[in-house]
Structure 1
Amino acid sequence: MRNSLPVALLVGSLTLGGGSAGAQEPTPGDVTEQLGVQQVQVAPAGAAPPQSGDEVPTQPVVEEYLTDRLREADEVWTAFFARLGLAEPKVSYLIVTPESGPYKSNCGSLPVIHHNTPNAYYCGWDEASAGFAGTIYLPVTTMQRMWAGDIFGRQSVRKGDFAAAILTAHEFGHHVVHELSEQYRQPLPTGKWWELISDCMAGVWATSAYYRGTMQPGNFEEAVAALEAIGDTAITAEPHGTSEERKNALLTGYNGIPNRYPPGAPAACTETYWKYA
C-alpha cells in the first residue's frame, strides 16, 4: 500500500515553544501548542484496564488502522507547522504487504524490507512518491503481531492495538526530527538520542489522541509496555535506549515537563533529547 502525506512540525527555534501556565485546556480536536497544564497520568499500577484488542485482526484491518494513525499524526504535525508559517514538508509511507513488497531503501543501513521484517523503519532520503522526501516503512505482518503482544519478536506484558499506534508514531517522529534538522540546518541527534527523541515525539502525538478523546482505557499502558519490551538490554552498534529510557522519553512527550512545558509540547523533546552520542 503506497500513499503520500504532508506533515508538519511545531517549531519556533531549536527549542520548541510550549504553552504557558494558566493556558486554557483545549477541547478534543483543537490541539495547539498550549495543551493546558493538567498532567496526563498513566493509570495506577494494578488498575488492570480492559485490553483494546485480544484478537489478531486481518491484514486489511491492520492496514486501515495504520493508515488512520498516520493520518492523525499528519494532522497534528501539519497544524503545528502551519500555525508558525513554515513550509510544509511531506512524507511518504509504505505498508509492506506480501503482495506489495519487498522494498529496498536508499538508506544503506536498512535491510530489504519484507511484510514480516521484524522492525519498522524510516529513511529521510527515500522518495517513494515524487516530491515527498522521507518514507516510513511498516511491515504489515510485523505490525499485525503487535495485537498479540509480539513487539518485533519480543513479548510485551500487554496486548492491544496501541502498541502498533505508538510505534507508527515513533517512525513519524523520525520524520519530524529530520525535517527540523533540514529546516534549521542542525545536525541530527545521534546514537540513542535519535531514537529517544522519536519516542518523545510519539508521546506528543499520544497527548493529542488523549485530548481528541480517541484514546481508550489501557491504550497508553500498551504503548509504555511496547517500548519497554524493545529497550536495549546490552550495548549495541545501533542503540535505541534502555527500557527505562524509552519509557521516560515517551512520558516526556506525553506529560511535558512540570513547571516548564505542558503535556504534548515538542519543546520538551528537543530540549531533553536533541543530543549527540
Structure 2
Amino acid sequence: MTSGVDPGNVDNAVPEYLTTLLDDLDQTWGGWFDQLGWGDPAPGRVLIGSGTSFTTECIAGDEDSSPVPIPSDEANAFFCGADTEPNGQGVPTEGSVVLPVETFAAIWDGNVFGVPSPIVGDFTAAIVVAHEYGHNVVFRMAEVFDIPDSRLPAGKNSELIADCLAANWGATAYQRDALGAKEILQVAGLLPIIGDTGGASGHGSARERAVALTVGLTGPQFNRQGQPVDCIERYWPEFFEVG
C-alpha cells in the first residue's frame, strides 16, 4: 500500500492512501468478524480535508456550548463512538474514525503529531490509523455482546489493546507482503514519541506500547502471528467475565 506521497501531491495522495488503508482494515477485520458471526465492523469515516473542519460529538466546548470543530491540521487522530458518519459503503454508521488529512500529510515531512521524527513513511501513518481502528474493534465487540462500560478495557489498557490490535492487522499485512521488516522498525522509532512519559496514564509508556505491538505481531510467546485473542486476553480480561 505505497502512498506515493510527495510535497507536490499531498492534497490528492494522502486522502487516497487513507481511503485505501481503511478499505484494507475493513476487509481484514470484516473477515474475522464474519467468521465469528459478529456482523460488519466497518466504522464511519471522516477525512478532514485541507482547509476544512469537522464537528465531533466527542469533543465538547465549554459548559452549555456546542461541540468544537476539529481542523484538518489537528495534531491528533481519533475514534468517536458518538459520531454517525458514512462507512466505506456510504452507509451511515454510529462510531467513526476521524483523520485530519493535513496532520497525516505532515507525517511524510517528519512531523508526527507536532513532534519531529527521524523515521517517517507510509507505515508510520498506517499504524496510527490501525490504532484508531483498534478502538473501533473494541467498540463493535462491546455492541455485539452488550458489554457495559464497567467491563471495557480499563485505564491505559484501553489504549494498549488498540496498539495490540493494530499490530494484529500489521501481521496480516506482513503475511501478504504489503509491508516488510523496515516498515515494522518504523514503529519502534515512533514509540518514544507516542508513549506517555513514565507510563502513568493515557497511552502507556514506550516500553508498554512496544510490548503491546509485539504481542499483536508475534503472539505472547514470540512464535507465531499474533491473534486478536492474544490482545483480548492480555488487555481486556473483563471480556471473559460472566454476568
Q: TM-score range by the shorter chain?
A: 0.7 to 0.9
Contact 1:149-1:158 at 8 Å conserved across structures = yes
2:53 is paired with a residue whose SS is coil
Residue in 2 aligned with 1:152?
113
How many residue pairs match? The answer is: 222
Kindly provide the CA deviation profile for residues 194-253 of structure 1, in whole angstroms up to 9, marking residues without a partner as x.
1110000000000010011110451111123223311111577x6111111112111110
Cα distance 1:62–1:173, how it changes in 2: closer, same or farther (>3 A)?
A: same
Q: Compare relative contact order (CA 8 Å, sep 6+) and give the higher one, 1 or 2.
A: 1
Contact 2:26-2:42 at 8 Å conserved across structures = no
More strand by percentage: 2
Q: Equivalent residues in 2 for 1:4-23 (5 A)? A: none
1:226 is paired with a residue whose SS is helix
Percentage of identical aligned residues: 35
Contact 1:205-1:264 at 8 Å conserved across structures = no
* RMSD of aligned alpha carbons: 2.4
Contact 1:53-1:160 at 8 Å conserved across structures = no
Cα distance 1:107–1:181, how it changes in 2: closer, same or farther (>3 A)?
A: same
Structure 2 gaps of 5+ residues are 61-66, 239-243
Structure 1 gaps of 5+ residues are 1-51
Residue in 2 aligned with 1:80?
32
**Which is worse superposed, 171-180 or 242-251?**
242-251
State the AA in 1 paired with 2:211: N
Cα distance 1:90–1:69, how it changes in 2: closer, same or farther (>3 A)?
A: closer
Kindly provide the CA deviation profile for residues 131-160 of structure 1, in whole angstroms up to 9, marking residues without a partner as x.
411111111111111123321111233122
Runs of 4+ aligned structure 1 residues displaced above 3 Å come to 52-57, 108-111
Contact 2:38-2:144 at 8 Å conserved across structures = no
2:16 is paired with a residue whose SS is helix
1:94 is paired with a residue whose SS is strand
2:220 is paired with a residue whose SS is coil
1:207 aligned to which of 171, 183, 187: 171
Separation of aligned partners in 2, 1:113 and 1:54: 23
The answer to whether 1:243 aligns with 2:206 is yes
After TM superposition, the score normalised by the length of structure 2 is 0.83
After TM superposition, the score normalised by the length of structure 1 is 0.73
- By how many angstroms is 1:113 displaced? 1.4
Contact 2:220-2:230 at 8 Å conserved across structures = yes
Contact 2:44-2:92 at 8 Å conserved across structures = no
Contact 2:41-2:137 at 8 Å conserved across structures = no
